[in-house]
Structure 1
Amino acid sequence: MPSPPDRSPDSNLDRKKTPAVKKNRRSSWSGPWLSSNEALKNVVLKMRLQSLSNSSSTTPPSESEPEPEFDPFNSRPISHGNAAPDYSSMLSDKLLVKILSKISDKKQHISNSLVCKRWCMLSGKLINSIKLLDWEFLESGRLSFRFPNLVDVNIVPSCIKSERNSGILLSNRLCSVHLDSGVGENEGFLVKKGDVLGSDVVDRGVRILSEGCGNLRKVVLMNVSEEGLSILADECELLQEMELLCCGDSSLKGIFKCQNLQMLKLVSHLDGIYDSVVSDIGMTILAQGCRRLLRLELVGCEGSYDGIKAIGHCCQMLEELVLCDHRMDGGWLSALSYCGNLKTLRIQSCKSIDSNPGPDEHLGCCPTLEELHVQQCQMREKLGVRALFLVCRTVRSIVFEDCWGLDNSIFNAASICRSVTYLSLEGCSLLTMEGLESVIPFWKKLDRLRVVACNNIKDSEITPELATLFSVLKELKWRPDSRSLMEAGLAGTGVGQKGGRSLRK
């Protein structure tokens, strides 16, 4: 039988004398709400039960794994132990990609991709340009899987086998190659012929690339054949810019299908690396296929009047033509007159402008030409340089940079260009003040002048006529040598004085 309750007077007395002691509880923001509002309690309990019922209906909980505990106010799992909760798991992929895209530092994407597999995949979607260093990464299909949104791909570094640990690096603006100790045994080439991937291997990689990245806008390829270019043209209809290295006339047949191509760069010959040929045949093929070209750059290409004429006749939208280290036959300058919409002509690193330009009446003229850039070229042949100025006599901007052989007599032929508004001379050491005096007075529209590193042009030789001309220019940069003092040469003209004419340097 249960023992009767204790009814001793001492116990009753203790109950009467001992006051009720309230325990100190930690204040909480939810306390007043839950204590005064029973409806809020019911809402929170109902939300929690509904959350648990939804999770149990989709995936029944395992008997061995306990159900996770949720915070009723934050709807987040309660973490036990030292493991930190993954708050990013509550964000959708679309929202998380939008957040990661706000990071301006591109290098930070590499660190973000190391967080977890999910972040690795989402960070890969933000990469749109890549330079391939490992060919196996492309052949295995991991390139398109890892970076599905690529629009710019350069596979040239992976097409040349080289020792990555070599201390010798051959680099130029087109490609970089690591060299080994046996570089002198390659028959005059710095790279062995077997070290460049074959066309069949490159075509297979181009097929994988084009099928996985159909939104490509720019590609840089090497030693690709007609088959590879055809596949690329069929799969990547948005392709607009292309660079081809180690290409020949036969491979350009595949470029015929690239109807939307706007910028094309052909690197036919590259000293020490490879030697291929692009002649008038290849130029005619690309001209008939790529009729929407806006910019064409020919590097180390062989050709003549016929090839340039085909380009000018078919590519009527061509606005910029670049010739670098060309091997053109004599007379090619006269074909520029067929480029009816040409606005910019660039001639770079050429040993000769035109060895045999022909009579003046056959040269013609480019009526829409606005800019002429001649950089690091041999200009000792007076006939070729004079023919260049005749063809470009409507030009408005002339730039000479590090041109060998440009003396006063050759520069005097530029006086035929009467519409020049801007002249830039840099590294023209043979040119003197006498050469400037023989040309600049004929350019009535000249308003900008730049003279840099032309050591034979002296401040002391500035005549009052030139000083007056300089004072009305809108822009003047005068640094012919390190001892140049423009103020001494323009003494008495009012330039540089308070209230006088302005001189912008």
Structure 2
Amino acid sequence: MRGHDRINTFIPDELILEMFRRLDSKPSRDACSLVCKRWLALERLSRTTLRICATGSPNLVVDLLAGRFRNVRTVHIDERLNISLPCQPPGRRRGTDIAGVSSVKLHCASEKNGSPDPGSDSCSLSDAGLTAIGEGFPKLEKLSLIWCSNVSSLGLISLAGKCRLLKSLDLQGCYVGDQGLAAVGQSCKQLEDLNLRFCEGLTDVCLVELAHGVGKSLKSLGIAACAKITDTAMEAVGSHCKSLKNLSLDAEFIHNKGVVAVAQGCPALKSMKLQCINVTDEALSAVGTSCPSLEVLALYSFQRFTDKGLSAIGNGCKKLKNLILSDCYFLGVNALESIATGCKELTHLEVNGCHNIGTMGLESIGKSCPRLTELALLYCQRIGNFALSEVGRGCQFLQALHLVDCSSIGDEAICSIAKGCRNLKKLHIRRCYEIGNTGIVAVGENCRSLTDLSLRFCDRVGDEALIAVAQCSSLQYLNVSGCHQIGDAGLIAIARGCPQLSYLDVSVLQNLGDMAMAEVGEGCPNLKDIVLSHCRQITDVGINHLVKHCTILASCHMVYCPGITSSGVATVVSSCPNIKKVLVEKCKVSSRTKRRAASVISYLCMDL
């Protein structure tokens, strides 16, 4: 009835707040917040997360937001974030630009009411901003400060004293000192998650005090490139952090002593990621003996680690599900046999650059680990066809396979995977020159659930393979860059058989022409990203047909395509309302296109 506000009269605040909590899309929350001042205020009360760009004037932004959103529990500030929203004029209402979903990127000018704020830093967040966060968000539970180089111990001390409910703190790249982190240990007794990656100013002192203060609650710890943190700090963690479940450690000054202390003192460890060049089999033997609950183990660049250490892991960590071995040069041909024998629950395995691991070890995985769902073999020259044949026979639940520079693996192996692993959804192959049409045809005929296929620089793959893959109607991602034998016939089959395709990379295909582009436009209306670079046969005609139907296209890369002119570039910009990035030579962008869409145009070579 005209003149009567029945909604605001009868609906209580609690019900409206619950409605806001159930809205997941930004447009919906924005629209509801504009109903009236009451709904705008309630939407602000329902906000739990803020994401702020730490450029411009972040201190001022924090001040403004603290007065509006009192129930925020998560704040993420990242100096690397791009400015995503323009500033509103001083006289314009600002409520609508921050009334979106619970996570939003914000930027505000360094002026307030037309005059600069003398207390704010124009480059990045400072200690004053940290103080404002502490005072403005007393319910804060999670704080992420990424590469905020101007904050120091003073700001962290102030924040710690006010945000005693803090559970998660990410200080990646911040130059805070020992005093600030010690204050966190003294005040934030509920702290569970701490990331200290690239905090170069920290020493053992802060971690020792922190372990004393929050040892009972700490569950996750990440350290990288902290040269002054040694075994002493790790011994303190092992002594006091009995509930620690996740450890990520990248430190060249950590030795066996530190890792052994953590392994023996933290039996609840479930995830351990180590890049410690001075750690040997002794430390890994302690992990295998003392961490029976370990589920994730990642070992990077181990220079003194052999089959003995991996054998201890296989014998002791029976619950291991995810194993990554990267650049561990001293592992032998049969290194994986102990893992296969002892870790029956293994689901993810990545072997990267371990040049001495051979066929026999992976055969054991295929025979003994039936739950394997993801396998990545990168730069494994000694692993041959028979290993993947065993995986195909024994791992019927395999869903993802990644192969890079595996010169001994060919069509025979891929055929075995295709016939035995019919649930395969993701297949990524790069520079495996023995794999050709035969293997990929088998994938198309047997793996009908395939959604993600990448065949980069596989010279023996041609149209026959793509015609078979076109039977996988659920395909959404396709990358065939550098597969020179693929032409119009293969891509036309994909266009007609895979209507859900959203990403397509056909760069460096010299035989691909406008007919294929027309068919993709007709058959793939969900296409969002396309890469056409170095395709010499595609012209403005093909681009016109493509964008006529692919109306939700968001990015288009088309550098070094001599048949595409400034007219084709203008067509893409004018026909695709959702376009966010067009990568092209500078000489192909007309003045009119530049005026119209300068923000979405990117240039690979500025002087062309």
Q: TM-score per shorter chain, which class?
A: 0.5 to 0.7
Correspondence list, 1:251-262, <5 A: 251-256=180-185, 257-262=187-192
Greater Rg over alpha carbons, structure: 1
193, 211, 216: which one aligns with 2:135? 211
Q: SS at 1:104's partner residue?
A: coil
Deviations for 1:471-501, whole angstroms, at most 9, x for unmatched residues? Answer: 344633574649555575589x9998xxxxx
Which residue of 204, 208, 212 maps to 1:284? 208
Identity, in percent, stands at: 20
Cα shift at 1:457:
6.7
Rounded Cα–Cα distance in structure 2 between residues aligned with 1:116 and 1:278: 49
Q: Using the alignment, how far apart are the partners of 2:84 and 2:416 within structure 1?
A: 57
Residue segments in structure 2 that go unaligned for 5+ positions in a row: 87-104, 108-120, 405-409, 423-445, 451-608
For residues 112 and 360 of structure 1, the distance between their equivalents in structure 2, rounded to whole angstroms, comes to 57
Q: Quick one: distance in 2 between partners of 1:195 and 1:410?
A: 57
Q: Is residue 277 of structure 2 the alignment partner of residue 354 of structure 1?
A: yes
How far the C-alpha of 1:244 sits from its partner, in A, is 1.8
Counterpart Cα distance in 2 of 1:96 and 1:442: 54
1:244 to 168, 171, 174: 171
Q: CA deviation at 1:310?
A: 0.9
State how far apart, in whole Å, the 1-side matches of 2:24 and 2:85 are.
Answer: 31
Amino acid at match of 1:342: A
Give, as a single letter, the amino acid of the residue that structure 2 aligns with 1:104: D
* Letter matched to residue 316 of structure 1: K
Q: In structure 1, what is the Cα distance between the partners aligned to 2:136 and 2:283?
A: 54
Q: Is the 8 A contact 1:305 1:334 kept in 2?
A: no
Query: Could you say which structure has the greater relative contact order, defined with CA pairs below 8 angstroms and 6 or more residues apart?
Result: 1
Which residue of structure 1 aligns with residue 50 of structure 2? Answer: 130
Q: Match of 1:312, SS?
A: helix
Matched to 1:446, the amino acid is C
Amino acid at match of 2:244: L
Would the alpha carbon gap of residues 484 and 126 (structure 1) be closer, same or farther in structure 2, given more than 3 Å must change? Answer: farther
Can you give the 5+ residue segments of structure 1 that lack an aligned partner in the other structure?
A: 1-73, 78-84, 166-175, 179-193, 270-275, 497-501
Q: Which residue number in structure 2 is paired with residue 448 of structure 1?
A: 371
1:440-462: CA deviation from partner (whole Å, max 9, x where unpaired) = 64998633334335464799641
* Aligned equivalents of 1:391, 1:459: Cα separation in 2: 22
1:144 aligns with 2:83: no
Paired positions, count: 372
Counterpart of 2:23 (choices 98, 103, 107) is: 103
Task: Provide the C-alpha distance between the structure 1 equivalents of 2:14 and 2:421, rounded to a whole number of angstroms.
Answer: 61
**Alignment partner of 1:383: what SS?**
coil
Counterpart residue number, 2:335: 412
Q: Per-residue displacement from partner, 1:133-166 (whole Å, max 9, x unpaired)?
A: 34244454x31221121010123439x999999x
SS in 2 for 1:250: helix
* Contact preservation (8 Å) 2:340, 2:369: no
- 1:128, CA displacement in angstroms? 0.7
Q: 1:317 aligns with which of 212, 218, 243?
A: 243
Query: Is the alpha carbon distance of 1:252 and 1:468 closer, same or farther for their aligned partners in structure 2, counting shifts above 3 Å?
Result: closer
Give 2:162's aligned residue. Answer: 235
Task: Please give the alpha-carbon distance, in whole angstroms, between the structure 2 residues aligned to 1:415 and 1:306.
Answer: 32
The answer as to whether partners of 2:182 and 2:209 remain within 8 angstroms in 1 is yes
User: 2 CA distance for matches of 1:228 and 1:440?
Assistant: 55
- Name the CA distance, whole Å, in 2 between partners of 1:87 and 1:279: 62
Query: Which residue identity does 1:252 align to in structure 2?
Result: L
> Equivalents in 2 of 1:111, 1:139: separation in Å?
24
Separation in structure 1 between the aligned mates of residue 283 and residue 8 of structure 2, nearest angstrom:
74
User: For residue 106 of structure 1, what is the amino acid of its counterpart?
Assistant: K
Q: Is 1:419–1:443's contact at 8 Å kept on the other side of the alignment?
A: no
1:10-21 to 2 correspondences below 5 Å: none
Q: Match for residue 100 of structure 2?
A: none
User: What residue identity is the alignment partner of 2:169?
Assistant: M
What CA distance in whole angstroms lies between the structure 2 residues aligned with 1:214 and 1:357?
45
From 326, 349, 353, the counterpart of 1:403? 326
- Check 1:448–1:458 CA distance in 2 against 1; reply closer, same or farther (3 A cut): farther
Q: Residues 295-334 of structure 1 correspond to what in structure 2 (within 5 A)?
A: 295-302=220-227, 303-323=229-249, 325-331=250-256, 332-334=258-260
